[in-house]
């Protein structure tokens, strides 16, 4: 009996550090996920910026483009503490 769609998928890690957080990137990643799924893989994103993570969530694609839970979100523009002496 074939397991078909229920067969376990292999994981492919995609490091997205330094990529733009825009619709073009999300579209490319979604297409990558689709192509990988056709070949028995599941893409997991690693080093996702907070902006990209927020955009993927806003677009309702968190189930399609899961982030690797082992890496904290990377902030592309870290917040600098204010200088209390000013």
Integer Cα distance of 42 and 5 in angstroms: 12
Q: Measuring CA to CA, how many Å separate 63 from each of 20, 58, 85, 86?
A: 20, 12, 46, 45
Q: What is the pLDDT along the chain (86 residues), one digit of tens a residue?
A: 445 556 667 999 999 999 999 999 999 999 999 999 999 999 999 999 999 999 999 999 999 999 986 545 555 555 555 665 65
Residue 62 carries which DSSP code? T
- What's the whole-model pTM score? 0.72
């Amino acid at each position: 009996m074939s397991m078909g769609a229920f067969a376990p998928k292999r994981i492919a890690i995609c490091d997205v550090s330094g990529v733009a957080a825009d619709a073009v990137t999300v579209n490319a990643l979604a297409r990558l996920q689709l192509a990988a799924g056709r070949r028995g893989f599941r893409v997991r994103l690693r080093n996702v910026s907070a902006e990209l993570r927020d955009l993927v969530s806003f677009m309702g694609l968190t189930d399609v483009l899961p982030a690797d839970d082992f890496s904290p979100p990377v902030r592309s523009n870290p917040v600098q503490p204010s200088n209390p002496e000013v």
